[in-house]
Structures are given as structure tokens and as C-alpha cells.
Amino acid sequence: MPKANDISLRQVEAFHAVMEAGSITGAAEMMHVTQPAVSRLIRDLQINVGFPLFERRKGRIMPTTEARALFEEVQRSYLGLEKISSAAAEIRNFRSGYLQIAALPAMSMRFLPRVITAFSEANPGINISMQIRSSTRVSEWVGSQQVDAGFAALQSTYPGVEQIPLYSGSLVAVLPTGHRLAREKTLTAARLAGENLVSLGSEYGIRQRTIEAFALAGVPLVSRIEVQLAHAVCEFVAAGAGVGLVEPVTAHQMTDRGLVIRPFDPAIPYFVSLLLPLNRTQPLFFDSFMAMVVGELAANPYIELSRAVRQRYGKG
């Protein structure tokens, strides 16, 4: 009795090759096997399907009517397999994929858009979604595996999160071009006495640490403008509204706005971590993406990349 369930992929491959090549010899060349091997596969397939597939006419093999009908079905299956193979190749070669990230505003306003744009130009088949959220929310999203990766400034994270230190630095002072203090190499709370400090809102830890630094120096903090983003602080400073203390990545990305950046003493530490979901593998292209992130950060003189991230993503 025919044993259709015993049909093997190799038998189907041989049948497809013979139909395409029009001969056993041509099929053997296509499959890189011997002619007897192809003949044996065709013979076994005929036994399994229960009807003849080829007949000899004038020294050539010709497909039977049943073989032509079967070939139509095989062709449809082959198209499906080719699509799968093509998709696998695109994924393997970074030509297809999807990356979901979440990041705190300090990384999202200018830094990541530049990195993502460069990465997308190099890998046009990869789609990227970026959500701008608070560090706490970023950690929650990574822990619940709503995103592939996150960037956050946190001491501790949500359960289910691997936290990898990305970079560390200190807040820097930003001033408009031509400001009287632009000649100073380092600025202190005392030197900023009387200056209007464009600051972040009271809900931000940076604001509290800034207040403490001024209090330690015995200098009153004058702040008539309060905003929610470091990017906005820099824009106000560029417009001449005052001076600011912001994290170093935003400051470095905003120099095209005519800002002068100076170290601030005493140092107010600031750091950002890469957050990854535990027990979840990253897309194959993720290391390539992170190499671009690390490469861009390495150009910032106001921060220091962590050893862990340099070793992991190629800058160490």
C-alpha cells in the first residue's frame, strides 16, 4: 500500500529538481548528488505516493499527468519554504527585525534619535519603536517584558531586570555664549551666586541635589524658571534666560545651540544604566545597535563608560 506519510523532504526536493531540470542528470547537478541517488529518491517517492511520476519517451523522462498535478502543490509549498528561508536570511543579516526600547528623557530627546537614525540608515529593514518614559516606568516596562531594552537612571530596578551600568558623570553647568562666566574653567555655587538658575522641577532628584550643593556653599539658589526636561533647560539658557545645571549627555548634545559647558564643583553624580529583561534573548542585531550607542557616548568628554558595557559592546 502507498505510504504517503513516509514522504520525506529529500524525496520532494528530488522530485522538484527533476521537474525543474527536466532530467535526472540535471537534478543531480542541482542537488550536488549522484544520478543513482536521485533515481532512488524518485523511486521511493513513487512508492509512497502510489502512482507513476515519470515515463520514458524517446530516451527522455517525461512527467505524468499526476506528476504535473503534484508539482503544482509542491511549487506552492516551495514558495512557502523560500519565504521562510528568505526571512531567516534577512533576520540573520540584520535586514529584518523589530526593536522596542524605552528611555528616560535625557537619552531620548537628542542622543537616541541620532543613534537610531544612523542605525536605521545602515539597517533599513529593522523597525525601531522608542518610548519616552520616566526611569521608574522604563524599569517597569523592561521587567514586564513590554520592551527589549531600556535606559534609566536608577539605584535599583523592577524585579526581572538585568541592570548594566552604562555611563557615569556629574552635572555640568551650561551658559549662553558670551556669558561673563564663560571664561571660567570650572564653576561653583559661589561663582553662580546671583545668577538665575533655570532648573528642573522639585520632583526630580537632580533639583534636590542642586539645592544641597548651593546650601553647602552658603549661597541662595535663585530660580525663577522651572521646567520638566533638561533639554528645555538648555533651550532657555540658549535664549538667555539664565544658566543651568544639567546631566552631561543632554548638555553635550545641545552645543549646537550656542551653549558653553563647564564642570561644576562640588560634583553632583549622575549615571545611567542599560536595563534588559531577564530570561529573554536580545535580537541578533542588538549588539550592533549598542555598539553605536557606546560609540556615540565615547565621544562625550563629560562622562565615563562603564567597564562592563565597554567589554560587552566593543569599546574596551
Which CATH number covers residue 235?
A: 3.40.190.10
- Grid coordinates belonging to 283: 535580537
Beta carbons of 27 and 38 less than 8 angstroms apart: yes
Nearest C-alpha neighbor of 71 from the set 47, 54, 50 = 54
Range of the structural domain that residue 225 is part of: 172-267
Q: Do the strands 269-277 and 161-170 form a parallel or antiparallel pair, or are they unpaired? A: antiparallel
Please name which of 149, 151, 165 lies closest in space to residue 278, comparing C-alpha atoms: 149
Domain shared by 160 and 294, yes or no: yes
Q: CA torsion angle for 206, 209, 213, 216 (degrees, to 10)?
A: 160
Residues 114 and 137 in one domain: yes
What is the rounded CA–CA span in Å between residue 274 and residue 107?
11
* Claim to verify: residue 163 and residue 303 sit in the same structural domain: yes
Q: What's the domain count of the chain? A: 3
DSSP-derived secondary structure letter, 96: S
> Higher model confidence: residue 155 or residue 247?
247
**The domain that contains 52 carries what CATH number?**
1.10.10.10
Which of 52, 70, 92 is a domain's end point? 92
pLDDT at 283: 83
Are residue 182 and residue 241 in the same domain, yes or no? yes
Place 1 in a pLDDT band, splitting at 50, 70 and 90.
Answer: very low
Are 164 and 308 in contact by the 8 Å Cβ rule? The answer is yes
Q: How far is CA 280 from CA 132, 143, 214, in A?
A: 22, 11, 44
pLDDT digits (tens, 9 = 90+) for 266-316: 899 999 999 999 988 888 889 999 999 999 999 999 999 999 999 999 755
pLDDT at 78 over 80: no
52, 68, 92 - which closes a domain:
92
φ/ψ of residue 151, rounded to 5? -125, 125
Phi, psi of 96 (to 5 degrees): -150, 145
Q: What are phi and psi of 266, to 5 degrees?
A: -80, 155
Task: Output the pLDDT for position 280.
Answer: 81
If asked whether residues 116 and 150 sit together in one domain, one would say: yes
**Residue 221 pLDDT grade (very low, low, confident, very high; cuts 50, 70, 90):** confident
Q: Which of 92, 108, 131 is the last residue of a domain?
A: 92
Question: Are 88 and 12 members of one domain?
Answer: yes
> Are 248 and 284 found together in one domain?
no
Enter the C-alpha cell of residue 31: 542537488
Contact in structure between 273 and 265 (CB atoms under 8 Å): no
Provide the pLDDT for residue 65: 81
**Backbone angles phi and psi of 106, in degrees to 5:** -55, -30
Residues 6+ apart with CB under 8 A from 29: 21
Q: Using 50, 70 and 90 to split pLDDT, how confident is the model at 91?
A: low
Q: The cell 551650561 sits on which residue?
A: 174
